[in-house]
Each structure stands twice: as C-alpha cells, then as structure tokens.
Structure 1
Amino acid sequence: MPLLQDLLAAIAGGRVEIVDLTAPLSNETPILQLPEPFSNTIPFSLELISRYDDAGPGWYWNNIHTGEHTGTHVDAPVHWATGKDGADVSQLALTQLVAPAVVVDVSGRVADDADFLLGIDDVKAWEAANGPLPDGAWLLLRTGWDARSTDAGRFLNADENGPHSPGISAECARWLAEDTGLVGLGVETVGTDAGAAHSFEPAFPCHHYFLGAGKMGLTQLRNVASLPPTGAVLVVSPLPIVGGSGSPARVYALVER
C-alpha cells in the first residue's frame, strides 16, 4: 500500500491517533500582560458582518480582531530583537512545522513549585532514559499548566511580585537553542519563558536564544500529557502572515497507538 494511503488507513483504524494540542480561541483566552510602559496585544474578539439578515441574508461571517501572539500560537524568529533578521511567520519551513516531537514531563515538580525551571541536568536525565534529543525535533515541556488554562487568573498566576509560572533556566535555554538540533520549543504556559523571566540574565532567555538561533516558539498547548516521551509527529499550522512575527495556530500530533 502506498505510504500516504497506509497513514490514512492507520488513522481511520485507530492505529494512529490525532491528538489536538490547541486551546480554543475566544474572548476568554488568556493573554500575556506586560507592565507599563509596555504595550499589550488586544484580546480576541469577533465582529459580526452578517448572520442570515439584511446585511447578508444567506450567510454568516465575522471580522476577527486579535494579536499575532494570542492563544496557542507560533513565535517566528523575527519576533525577538536577537532574531530581527530572521524568518517571519510566512517564511517558516514546512519541514520544521511537521516534525518529530519529544516530551519532557516535569509536571510532578511543578505541582510543588510554580516557579520551577528546567535545567540542563534535567534534560540530560531525560536523555539517559529516552535517548539523545533528535535533530529536527520540537521539545515540548509538559508542566501540567494546561489544567489552569480556562481560568485566566490561575493561568497567568500573578501577584505583587509579578507572574509565577514554570519554564527553562537561562543556561538551559542557551544550551538547547545553540548546542542541540532542535527546531523549536513548545510549552503549556502563556509564553515560552517562565513567569519570572523578566528578571533573568538575559531577560526572557527562551525568546532571546531560540529566536536568535533561527528557531521557533510554540505556546499555550493542551493535552501534551497524551503524548509519549518520543515518537510523536507534531503538526503546526500558523497563518502565513507576510511580515508577521507570529500567528495563532492549530497544533496537533500524530501518535502511533
């Protein structure tokens, strides 16, 4: 049987499961909140054009109002100053948007520490158990944070000291971005960096190093717990916005069962 027909048969027969990793996009979708004097993106909203009425008797449609970095979305290299000469979202390579995925699960440690940071030793321990990080793959950081995603307050988790959410240490971010063959980093939190990353050196190191290395970020994932540590294929489908720094995306994984 031809390869693609075999894949379709495997999906139809349940041998390959499609796991949706995308958060629904609505006016309740949590969005990143930057402190003054920085500007923030607008929340997602729909503006009605017509709905089977005088403005359009036979059809329903809307204008969409949102930012590039709302909900489950892709960060293109050009999003960050270190990647300002890099690709915009319309230029991302399709061979990197359909790619292997590995899952590093630290949800047990995050349950006791909302500010948990993944370190190089943690990744080395994962490699000892699962093999080396494959070239051309996405690393998906499983923290359990998606359980908070329907409650913006718990999801952003901010207090008088700022937001508290898990992420990756500056040292580990640099190593993953510059010394491995990964093509991107995916997380369940509102951004690829930890909540306290504004105070790191450099600030927001996942953005700084990954986008500066021409790699990608992927945020606000759900259902990562349904994926195995290795073996899944990630499919990332952003809008090809010319000149765009990112885009909301439909993201799913193919998993052999």
Structure 2
Amino acid sequence: MSLPSTEPGLIQNLIGALDGGALEVVDLTAPLSAGIPTLKLPDPFVNLIDFSLEQVSAFDEPGPFWKHNNIHTGEHIGTHVDAPSHWITGRDGDDVSQIPVRRLVGPAVVMDFSAEAATDPDFLVEPEHIQAWEAEHGALPDGAWLLLRTGWDKYIDDADAFLNFDDTGSHTPGISAACAKWLAEETPIAGLGVETVGIDAGNAGAFDPPFPAHYYLLGNNKYGVTLLQNLAALPATGAMVVVSPLKIVGGTASPARVLAFVER
C-alpha cells in the first residue's frame, strides 16, 4: 500500500489561495427574513406562506441553555432553486433532492443587462444578445450557470420597487420565450440565475407559452435560481458558482446559499 503524497494537491492549493486572498468567495445570496420580496399570484391562485421564525426558547424555561426557532416558509421564498418537478413540463423530472450535485457546481457566466433594464423594466434578453456575448467571450461552457445581471438586486429592501406592480401587472426584466426555448434546447447550461423574484420576466404570464423560462428550462432538466445579489462583483467569465439547496425529498424548490469563487 502506498502512502499519500505529501506534495501540495488541488485541495491544498485551493485552501492556500483562499487564505492568501488570491481566491475570493462572493456571497450571491439575499438575506432571508420576513421582509424578503415574494411572488404574489393573483386570484384564484394560492400563494405560498412568507418566511417567518417562531421562537421556541431563548435561554429561558423552555430551553435554559439554548436558543432555537421553528422555520415557517414556502419552498420558493428568497434566494431559491427551482427543480424540474416544479413545472408541469418537468413534473416527472428530478425533485430538489435529486438534482445531481455535479450540476450544482460549475462555471459562472455573467451577462450584464443592467443598463437596458434601467431604461426598460420589461427588457427581455433574446438569443441574439447571448450570441453577441458569445462572439466576444466564447461559447457557453458545458454545465455553466448563466447569471443575468440586471441591477435588480438594488431593490431587495423595497418590495414595492422590487416587484414593480401597476394596473397592468409586474414589470421586471427577464428572458423572452424564444430565448428560453433556445437556452433549454440548444445550449449546455445547467441553469439560469436571476436577481428578480422568479426566473421569468414579471409579465411572462402573458407570453406564449406562459412563463417560458419555467416551461422550457425545467422541462429540459435545467434549473433556476432567483433573488441573486452581488453579481457586479463577478467577472463575465472565470468564476465558479456553487448552488446549495436543502435536500428536501419531494421538494419542488428550496431556499439556497449561492456562492461564487473569484480569482483576484
């Protein structure tokens, strides 16, 4: 039996880069609290419960040496991962506990549409936008997470601005139906990440098909992650993203901690 090598390996080099500051961990997760903006479906549809904590004990008679809480929340609250089983087109696909871990770690591809979204909150990413990006940066890598920066994370503490409702519905940026179909069927990405409350645009219920990001991506065994923060701290290419949902058996989604590793 041979002894393990004492030469530095990949893990040791990674730890050294983190300790030395050559590799930075960027938290892409929105703080999860009762004030987090949540999707509001119109009647007659039923909404999930919002996030809340129920205190059970706090160094008192019910628990003199500890503090702990019950968590009350819907699956699709805060920064969360959508599994294929969430949507009718993926109903026989993986639940959130069955997503292969290798597909939760991959290259981060960041596309910046913040200027467009600032001018038009209903801005939609089309295949041509992504193809133009590929012409400059190279093809979308296999297993990549496509992260759309729209500047919407700046509204995280203002639910009204974040959801941007008026008499005609919600106005937040996203991808077109054609783009959703193309990403799902013609690209090797693992998933789509957005800063908004859902992976579809705010008014996507009126698209054909309705909510095409859900329809096409989840129907093609790809995933979504929402309410991302701090995408401005990531380069267009070269970072690695780690998406960590809870392993909820039968879950259609899960709150998640999303981290990016960035060379500095």
TM-score of the superposed pair, with normalisation by structure 1: 0.99
2:110 alignment partner in structure 1: 103
- Deviation, 1:192, is 0.2
Helix, strand or coil: the match of 2:26? strand
- Deviation, 1:113, is 0.3
Helix, strand or coil: the match of 1:70? coil
1:24 alignment partner in structure 2: 31
Match of residue 232, structure 2, among 225, 238, 251: 225
What is the 5 A alignment of 1:95-244? 95-244=102-251
Cα-to-partner distance string for 1:216-239 (whole Å, 9 max, x where unaligned): 000000001111111111001110
Aligned AA (1:59): W
Aligned AA (2:75): E
- Please list every run of 5 or more consecutive structure 2 residues that lacks an aligned counterpart in the other structure: 1-7
Runs of 4+ in 1 over 4 A off after TM superposition: none
Matches of 1:95 and 1:36 in 2, distance apart? Answer: 39
- Deviation, 1:160, is 0.6
Q: Does 1:250 align with 2:257?
A: yes
Helix, strand or coil: the match of 1:108? helix
Helix, strand or coil: the match of 1:102? strand
**How many positions carry a matched residue from both structures?**
257
Match of residue 68, structure 1, among 68, 72, 75: 75
2:4 alignment partner in structure 1: none
- Deviation, 1:114, is 0.3
- Deviation, 1:196, is 0.7
Aligned AA (2:10): L
Aligned AA (1:151): D
1:4 alignment partner in structure 2: 11
Cα-to-partner distance string for 1:157-201 (whole Å, 9 max, x where unaligned): 000110000000000110001110001000000000000100000
Helix, strand or coil: the match of 1:111? helix
Cα-to-partner distance string for 1:111-133 (whole Å, 9 max, x where unaligned): 10000000011001100110011
Helix, strand or coil: the match of 2:235? coil
1:36 alignment partner in structure 2: 43
Percent identity at matched positions?
Answer: 61
Matches of 1:99 and 1:221 in 2, distance apart? Answer: 16
CA RMSD of aligned residues (A): 0.5
Helix, strand or coil: the match of 1:31? coil
Matches of 1:53 and 1:170 in 2, distance apart? Answer: 55
Structure having the higher Rg? 2
- Please list every run of 5 or more consecutive structure 1 residues that lacks an aligned counterpart in the other structure: none
